[in-house]
């Protein structure tokens, strides 16, 4: 609608708003591409013994793009759109919402804490091979932990420009490595075996798919920025699709390139022998030492960026739940000077250090038992969340009056729900393959059961709140907006921006 007078308010508030590139940088940097390529994909090959990892990344990217269609459409209509449990609350009811919140807390904590294993092991190895320093993985992990704990309390995350530089460098290094690996195939010819769609129906694919999902965790964060983008209607959807497609292609390409360089038949053995060093060992005969060293350093920095990002995610989840008073109100307070969600940040750090000390004391393997097991368990939790959220999107649009076409409101979310449910069921069925344990090992049930237990606790807590504190119950899912709930019937559904 054209107006004769200039709209100063809109103009002033538009200053410093984010465009598509900034949002893409923020979320891909949280997903940490080199961590996924050098750490996730290689360990995925090694632990699961499945060769279909590359095609899994592509399949998962397609499913998540489908999921994103309904997800971003709904994000414009709800408050506190940054958190999965808000969608579940609006789509499937408050008990389901609190259950989802508990699952999310466990899943993001698992992602973050698992990454310490990767960081510690990779940094210790780097210091050993380059400077001859003898350290242990847990010493490096604890050093990272201390830095993350302090930055969390100071509310410092990585600056947008730093993230952009790191991200571009990571992608460049990954592409150079891919080109080198594809230029030196094991058998002399480039083999496409690991990209064959037939892998999707092969044994162990569930393990490969959830490994792939784990690599994408973080992309859902685009909607957090919806109120701070220049044009929420376009910026957030496009940034989300770009993030999913770019990372999907990069992961798929890199995982495939590794299998070409080793030969599709020996990728699993090579990954088991070399671990997270695989990609660097494959390219180092053909590249200068400095390029490989830069790659290793970027691998470490990308792990750190992901650690810090997931730490903030957990602290903010706790803050939002504290504001709603679903969790103790003290969690909803911030540090006066820095504005950090102080108590949430401290809780996350304490949980992390307890787990780290436990792993160090038990002398467990940091890569397999901490990095891979715990992050894929986090990935499983996020898979559960995305499946439920997708169903919530369908239910939400079925119940409100809206102007979205059937593709965004019904078809895409429904396809995503079915696909995600299928992945979830196959994953649960093959969790022993994923962990690389005996089919009768209790561990295969222990990790998934943790989510069932916290979800049950969450739903029960919601029902207790309904009986004991109806005002708190009514504000579930509103996050900081819950402050307005007692005064007005809050606008849980808002007009799309």
Interacting residues with other proteins (CB under 8 A): 3, 5, 7-10, 12-13, 15-16, 26, 80, 82, 155-160, 224-225, 227-228, 316, 319-320, 323, 332-341, 479-484, 486-488, 491
Smallest gap, in angstroms, from Cβ of residue 316 to other proteins?
A: 5
Q: Which residues contact 299 (CB under 8 A, 6 or more apart)?
A: 34, 35, 38, 39, 122, 276
Q: Which is nearer to other proteins, 362 or 487 (CB)?
A: 487
CA torsion sign for 306, 41, 85, 327 is negative
Closest CA to 343 of 358, 364, 310, 321: 321
Tell me how far apart the alpha carbons of residues 156 and 343 are, in angstroms, rounded to a whole number.
15
Smallest gap, in angstroms, from Cβ of residue 6 to other proteins?
A: 10
CB 88 within 8 A of CB 243: no
**Three-state DSSP state, 78:** strand
Closest CA to 174 of 291, 56, 273: 291
Smallest gap, in angstroms, from Cβ of residue 465 to other proteins?
A: 20
**Token pair listed for 70:** 């309904």
Q: Which is nearer to other proteins, 184 or 333 (CB)?
A: 333
CB 419 within 8 A of CB 386: no
Q: Which is nearer to other proteins, 94 or 323 (CB)?
A: 323
Per-position DSSP letters for 41-59, written without gaps between them: IHHHHHHH--S-HHHHHHH
Smallest gap, in angstroms, from Cβ of residue 308 to other proteins?
A: 10
Smallest gap, in angstroms, from Cβ of residue 220 to other proteins?
A: 14
CB 301 within 8 A of CB 166: yes
Smallest gap, in angstroms, from Cβ of residue 325 to other proteins?
A: 12
Q: Which is nearer to other proteins, 80 or 125 (CB)?
A: 80
CB 371 within 8 A of CB 43: yes
Q: Which is nearer to other proteins, 121 or 331 (CB)?
A: 331
Smallest gap, in angstroms, from Cβ of residue 227 to other proteins?
A: 7
Q: Which is nearer to other proteins, 283 or 340 (CB)?
A: 340
Residues found in the chain: 497
CB 148 within 8 A of CB 8: no
Q: Which is nearer to other proteins, 149 or 419 (CB)?
A: 149
Q: Which is nearer to other proteins, 160 or 185 (CB)?
A: 160
Smallest gap, in angstroms, from Cβ of residue 21 to other proteins?
A: 14
Tell me how far apart the alpha carbons of residues 450 and 417 are, in angstroms, rounded to a whole number.
22
Q: Which is nearer to other proteins, 291 or 485 (CB)?
A: 485
Q: Which is nearer to other proteins, 227 or 274 (CB)?
A: 227
Smallest gap, in angstroms, from Cβ of residue 494 to other proteins?
A: 10
Per-position DSSP letters for 289-338, written without gaps between them: HHHHHHHHHHHHHHHHHHHHHHHHHHHHHHHHHHHTTSS-GGGG---TTT
Smallest gap, in angstroms, from Cβ of residue 139 to other proteins?
A: 28
Q: Which is nearer to other proteins, 155 or 466 (CB)?
A: 155
Smallest gap, in angstroms, from Cβ of residue 27 to other proteins?
A: 12
Closest CA to 81 of 203, 176, 223: 223
Tell me how far apart the alpha carbons of residues 252 and 209 are, in angstroms, rounded to a whole number.
12
**Token pair listed for 23:** 């949002």
Smallest gap, in angstroms, from Cβ of residue 359 to other proteins?
A: 30
Containing H/E element for 184?
A: none
- H-helix segments, 76-93: 84-92
Q: Which is nearer to other proteins, 344 or 378 (CB)?
A: 344
CB 155 within 8 A of CB 339: yes
Q: Which residues contact 336 (CB under 8 A, 6 or more apart)?
A: none
Q: Which residue has the tokens 């050993």?
A: 128
C-beta pairs of 159-162 under 8 Å, 24+ apart in sequence: 160/22, 160/25, 160/26
């Amino acid at each position: 609608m054209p107006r004769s007078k200039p709209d100063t308010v809109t103009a002033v508030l538009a200053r410093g708003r984010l465009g598509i590139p900034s949002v893409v940088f923020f979320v891909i940097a949280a997903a940490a591409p080199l961590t996924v390529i050098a750490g996730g994909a290689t360990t995925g090959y090694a632990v699961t013994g499945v060769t279909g990892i590359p095609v899994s990344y592509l399949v998962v990217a397609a499913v998540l793009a489908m999921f994103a269609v309904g997800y971003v459409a709904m994000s414009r209509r709800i408050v506190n759109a940054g958190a999965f449990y808000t969608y579940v609350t609006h789509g499937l009811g408050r008990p389901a919402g609190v259950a989802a919140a508990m699952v999310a807390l466990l899943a993001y904590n698992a992602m973050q804490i698992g990454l310490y294993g990767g960081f510690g092991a990779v940094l210790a190895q780097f210091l050993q091979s380059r400077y001859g320093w003898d350290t242990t993985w847990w010493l490096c992990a604890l050093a990272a932990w201390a830095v993350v704990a302090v930055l969390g309390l100071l509310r410092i995350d990585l600056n947008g420009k730093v993230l952009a530089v790191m991200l571009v460098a990571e992608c460049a290094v990954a592409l150079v490595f891919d080109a080198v690996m594809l230029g030196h195939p094991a058998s002399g010819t480039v083999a496409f075996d690991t990209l064959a769609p037939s892998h999707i129906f092969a044994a162990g694919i569930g393990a490969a798919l959830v490994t792939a999902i784990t690599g994408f965790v973080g992309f859902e964060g685009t909607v957090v920025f919806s109120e701070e983008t220049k044009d929420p209607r376009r910026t957030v959807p496009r940034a989300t699709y770009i993030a999913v497609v770019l990372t999907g292609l990069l992961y798929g390409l890199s995982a495939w390139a590794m299998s070409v360089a080793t030969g599709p038949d020996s990728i699993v053995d090579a990954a088991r022998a070399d671990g997270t060093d695989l990609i660097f060992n494959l390219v180092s005969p053909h590249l200068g030492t400095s390029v490989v060293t830069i790659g290793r350093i970027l691998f470490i920095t990308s792990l750190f960026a992901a650690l810090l990002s997931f730490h903030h995610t957990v602290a903010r989840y706790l803050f939002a739940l504290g504001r709603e008073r679903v969790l103790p109100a003290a969690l909803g307070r911030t540090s006066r000077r820095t504005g950090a969600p102080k108590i949430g940040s401290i809780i996350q750090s304490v949980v992390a250090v307890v787990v780290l000390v436990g792993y160090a004391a038990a002398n467990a393997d940091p890569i397999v038992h901490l990095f891979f097991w715990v992050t894929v368990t986090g990935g499983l939790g996020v898979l559960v969340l995305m499946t439920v959220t997708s169903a919530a999107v369908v239910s939400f649009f079925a119940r409100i009056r809206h102007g979205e076409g059937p593709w965004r409101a019904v078809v895409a979310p429904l396809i995503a729900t079915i696909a995600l449910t299928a992945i979830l069921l196959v994953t649960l069925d093959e969790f022993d393959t994923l962990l690389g344990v005996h089919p009768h090992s209790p561990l295969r049930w222990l990790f998934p059961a943790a989510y069932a237990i916290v979800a049950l606790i969450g739903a029960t807590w919601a029902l207790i709140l309904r009986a004991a504190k109806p005002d708190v119950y009514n504000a579930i899912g509103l996050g900081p907006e819950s402050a307005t709930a007692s005064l007005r019937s809050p606008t849980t559904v808002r007009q799309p921006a």
